[in-house]
Structure 1
Amino acid sequence: MPPLHRLSFGPAGPPRLVDLPDGTQAWMVSRYADVRKVLTDSRFGRAGLHTADAPSLSGESGLVSSLDLIFNQDGEDHLRLRRTMRRAFTPRAVARWRPWIATIVEQCLDEFADGARPADLVAGFTLPLPVAVVSRLMGLDAKARERLRHWSQYAFSDGSHPEEEMASALAEFAAFGAELLAERRRAPGDDLTSVLVTAADEEGGVPESQLVDLVCGLVVGGHDSTMTMLGNSLLYLLGERPEVWPRLGADEEAAGALAERLLHLIPLGDDRGTARHVAIDTEVGGVVIPAGAVVLAECGTANRDPEVFPARPFEDLFAPLAAPTLSFGAGAHYCLGAWLARLELQLALHRLAARFPGLRLAEPADAVEWHLGTTSRSPRRIAVTW
């Protein structure tokens, strides 16, 4: 299984029909302009994908298939949930978190430096860092932190878990979320969970089941995606681009530019396309997509569209992007955690390179074993020395 940066993306082209796992057909869009239209046009939604007669979508199981998850809401239901969150995730709000996130990065590096060599970057850095950040952000105790990886395996299941086992794990996770919300209502703190409880109560009309899924989604999504992106980025940099390591450690601003390019070029997983359901006949890229159709927006291919981006996208890792990346989506469902992900990746890459200028792989990159999830793929272990 190749590293994600080596995935072969087909050429961007007009919308075309493809087969879904259950034999029904969907429309695949892959050009940057077409993908952006699908993601920003309100006629393309998520809720219609979860009706009783909706086709089966490969990989959508666990928490990501929940009807109460914000990602699967449209219209006023979606806006109501989003209003409870958006003030907490603005670029200005996230910038205020920089000092304590930087402190956590340094603490993780201290512990990593004290370990034996060769060391495992995943166990020693790419996993504990985002877990510590999301735990501080959401106000989680040590017991919850220990269970995060377990819950993530089911929340982003690859479909290999037995149905009863998954149902039991997700029920346990939901009970944790409900208990956490109840605790913050009784005794609010300065954590994000308390902010969400207050905002939801002020907003009114937010069902408790949706609020529970919102909190659970933030808890597991807030660490899983960062762990995945950081691990995949480090495997690429140490395995194929060691010449950029000195600049990465010397210049935090350059590390931010590099982080943005890696977020753009290295997907979280094998790109299956971001699914939408179209409400009425809608023209995209010169093709009329009929009402009721499923549309798969191939963001990975769109991020390499030669009409928008350079032909050799990995050539200059510090160059600014020619257009906004679609890695965080676009439109109403744009990822609220985008600025936090950028900050964590920038600080982690910069400070790791600054602390360990001689960091290098201790095993070939092609020998890496992969952890598979619904929406992501990441190294189980990255052996390094210095």
Structure 2
Amino acid sequence: MRERLLYLLKHCSNLNHVETAHGFMVRTALHHDKLLLSQFIETCSSLGFSAYAHSVFSVNSQSHPHIYVFNTMIKGMTLCNSAFEALLVYKSIGRVGLRPDCYSFPFALKAVVDLRAMSLGTQIHSQAICAGLESNVHVVSALIQMYSSCARISDARKVFDEMPLASVCSDDVVVWMAMIAGYVKVGDPDTAMDLLSRMPRTQTDGAVLITWTSVIAGYAQMDRPDEAIAVFRKMQLENVVPDEIAMLAVLSACAQLGAFHIRLGECIHGYVKKRGYDQMVTLKNALIEMYSNSGNISNALHVFVNMTRRTVISWTTIISALAFHGLGTQALDMFSRMEMAQVKPNDITFIAVLSACAHVGLVDLGRYYFHAMKYRYGIQHEIQHYGCMIDLLGRAG
């Protein structure tokens, strides 16, 4: 009975299913079962029925309190973007005679990040110390993430440095990953790379790859593509096999460098095909941008034409590429194809379209698209669109 109900809860897809499952739980006196109640809360949260989950939780939390259920409720509220309510649930743990555990603190700290409630975060830090969990890897990782997200990287580093990393194990790596990601988040990829070079190497290949990728992305985001590519090469020397996310990060760096690293970009394109990533839309978009910035518009078009699925970013990238290379007529033709494909343009698309109009001197068409933005597509004009119109009128005399 219990197993069947668990299965039912995991496969609910609408409110009717949830209400039916809840009614069955009450009729069979299983609504106090901590595992079933937690699964019920998790299901409601994932479907967006957080208020329903909280009402059922409130009834049961007083008469049959269990920390596992409280943790699930905090996590569920956080996932539903109800961080304030999540912290209220966290605060109520002590009122029912329970103590937060190594899962309570990370869930509560995630809510702190969402609210940017730094003072509350330091209070929870103190409570974790009082609970004797200041060395627990899950709690330490959450604290580092909290301080980093609130731009308190020195406090995050203090937490990291005080963590006794006595043995090289996968749990230790979680803490290192959090600290490295923290430095990337605050725009300090150099320190992140320094930590990465000293991070314990374990069998957790996925964790190692994520960390390398975050450092590559960090350099690319700081407009330091040479360093991003250098890190990518070091990653290869350590026999860390890149995935599609790593490819995306290094392609971004190649795009910034343009023709200087076109051969590396081509090698990555070949690797993308070899690994079977060649139909991933985000990678295809990055390849279009990379080839365009490298001056190879024919390859950019080839990638676009062979896409089986295109998003607004795909269309915008190729329109921008054509306009950038002075192919205004082809860019406007591509925009017409985009409209026929019933893909709604965004504000960046219109920057490319207006730029294309400027390159071919089509003032009336440019005016038409400028007004169509607002009255046909409901997109508000930004300073860049006015700049494009000034450029269009200026070029036309």
| TM class, shorter-length | under 0.3
- Larger relative contact order (C-alpha < 8 A, sep ≥ 6)? 1
Give TM-score, length-normalised by structure 1: 0.19
Say which one has the larger Rg: 2
